[in-house]
Amino acid sequence: MGTLLTYLALFGGFFAFGVPIVLSLSVAAVLMLMINGLDLQIFANVFVRSMDNFSLTAMFFFILAGEIMNGGGMTRRIVAAVSRLVRGVPGGLAIIAVISCALFAAINGSAIATAIAIGAILYPAMVRQGYGKAFSAAVIAAGGIIGPIIPPSIPMIIYGATTGDSIAALFAGGIILGILIAAAEVVVVYLISRKRGYGVNVEEIDFGKTKGVVWALVFPVFIFASIVGGIMTATETSAFAVVYAWVVGTFIYREFKFRDFAAMVRRAMLGSGMVMAIVGAASAVAWVLTYERVPQDVTIAMVNGLNTPTLFMVASFAILLIVGMIMDLTPAILILTPIFMGPVLAFGVDPIYFGVFFCSVLSAGLITPPVGTLIFTGCSTCGRPLGEVVREMTPFIVAVYIVLFVSALFPEIITFIPRQVFRL
C-alpha cells in the first residue's frame, strides 16, 4: 500500500497547487517509476499504447455529432418540441431544460457539451421569464450530468475500453438509471418552482418551428438500437451519427453552414484530445500501481473488511462520492478502475452493473463541490458567486445521490435491460 500512498501524496500535492491534470498524472507516474527503480521508457510506451485503442475514437465522433446538431438546428428543434409539452406547468422552462438535456445526452454522451448546448438556448429564456440566475444555471448543470449516464456515454466508452467489458451492455445499463435521475431532477424543479412562483402566469417563449423534429427524436432511438442490436459497434455508430446529423442539418433543415465545419471539428478534436492525453498519463499511473500489486492489496483489504457484496457496494458508493468531489471524471475512471476490478471479481459483483454504477457516481461529482466542473460552468454562465450557485444546486445533488444510493441497494435498476437484451 506504500506505492498507493506515495501516488496520492504526489498527485494530491500537484493538484493542490493547481498543476493541470495531465501534468500532475504524468509527473506522478515518472516519479513513481524512478522511486521504484523502473525504466522511464515504460512511461512513453504505456502512454502511447493506451491511446492506440479503436474504441476511443467514438469519443471524437459523438462530440462532433453534437457540434453538428447545434449548428444544423437539431438541438433547437428538440427544445421547441419539448416546450409544447409543459406549457402552463410551474417551472415549465426548467423542466424543458432537464428533458432536453436527457434527449441531447442520448446523442452526444458528454456532460459539458450537453450543459453548454442546452444552456445556450434555455438559460437566457429562463432568466427572461423571471427565474433566478443562479437557479437557472443550477438546473442546466444538473441536467448536464445525465449526459454521461444515458447512452451513448463517453465515460462508459473509456471504462469499457479499459476493462474490456461490452460497451453496448454498459450503455444498456444506463437507460433506466438515467431516466430515474432525470425524473428526480424534474420533481425538484417542480417543487422549487411551485414554491417560488417560477413559470406561473408568464409570457410564453417561442423557440421556433418544430417542423422535421421527428428526425431529431428518432436519432437517439436509432443510436441505441444499432449498438444494442449489434447492427454497428459503438465506434461505427458514432461515425454514422456525424453523417446523419450533417445530412439532416444540410438537406432537411437547411441550417448547417459548411463554413462553420472546420471550427466544429477543431472543438471536437480539442475535447477528445484532452481526454486522450489524460488516458495516456493515467494509464502510466495505473501500470505502476498494478506492477506494485496495489489492486491485489486493495482486494485483500476489502474482502477482509467487508463481508457481503452489498456492504462492498455501499463502501464503493462512499469512496466514489468522495473521489468525485475532488477529482475530475476521466482521470478518476482511469485511475480507480484497475484498483476496483479485483474486489469486484472477488465479491462476485456483475461487472456491467458495477461499471454503470461506477461511472454514474463519479459523473455526479461534476455537480458536487469543491471541484465540480459543471458548477464552475454554471458560475461563468450566470455571473453569480460560487456559494449562491452551490446553494441552488444542493437539492439536485441530494436527489441525484438518493437515486444512485438506491441503485447500489437494488442492482436490477441497472442490470434489467442488459440481462434482457444480452442474456448476461
pLDDT in tens, 2-29: 677 777 788 778 767 777 777 888 888 8
pLDDT in tens, 37-61: 888 888 889 888 877 777 778 888 8
Single out the residue of 118, 169, 121, 165 nearest to residue 146, CA to CA: 118
Q: 10 Å Cβ neighbour count for 143?
A: 33
Distance CA 95, CA 154 (A): 25
For residue 354, give every residue at least 6 positions away whose Cβ sits within 8 Å of its Cβ, in sequence order, or none.
Answer: 313, 316, 340, 344
Instruction: Specify the pLDDT at position 57.
Output: 83
pLDDT in tens, 254-312: 989 989 999 999 988 887 887 788 778 878 887 887 787 776 777 677 767 777 888 88
Rounded to whole angstroms, what are the CA distances from 235 to 12, 106, 247, 271, 414? 34, 15, 19, 17, 23
**Is 119 within 8 Å of 389 (Cβ atoms)?**
no
Instruction: Specify the pLDDT at position 229.
Output: 76
pLDDT at residue 74 is higher than 90: no
pLDDT in tens, 114-142: 888 888 888 888 888 889 999 999 999 99
**Is 103 within 8 Å of 215 (Cβ atoms)?**
no
Q: 10 Å Cβ neighbour count for 297?
A: 17
Q: Output DSSP code: residue 200.
A: S
Domain chopping of the chain, boundaries: 2-422
Radius of gyration of the chain from its Cα atoms, rounded to whole angstroms: 21
**Is 325 within 8 Å of 371 (Cβ atoms)?**
yes
User: What's the sign of the alpha-carbon dihedral 94, 95, 96, 102?
Assistant: positive
pLDDT band at 351 (very low <50, low <70, confident <90, very high): very high
The number of helices, as runs of H, and strands, as runs of E, in the chain is 20, 0
pLDDT band at 208 (very low <50, low <70, confident <90, very high): low
As given in the structure block, the three cell numbers for residue 284 are 502510466
Q: 10 Å Cβ neighbour count for 251?
A: 10
pTM for this model (two decimals):
0.82
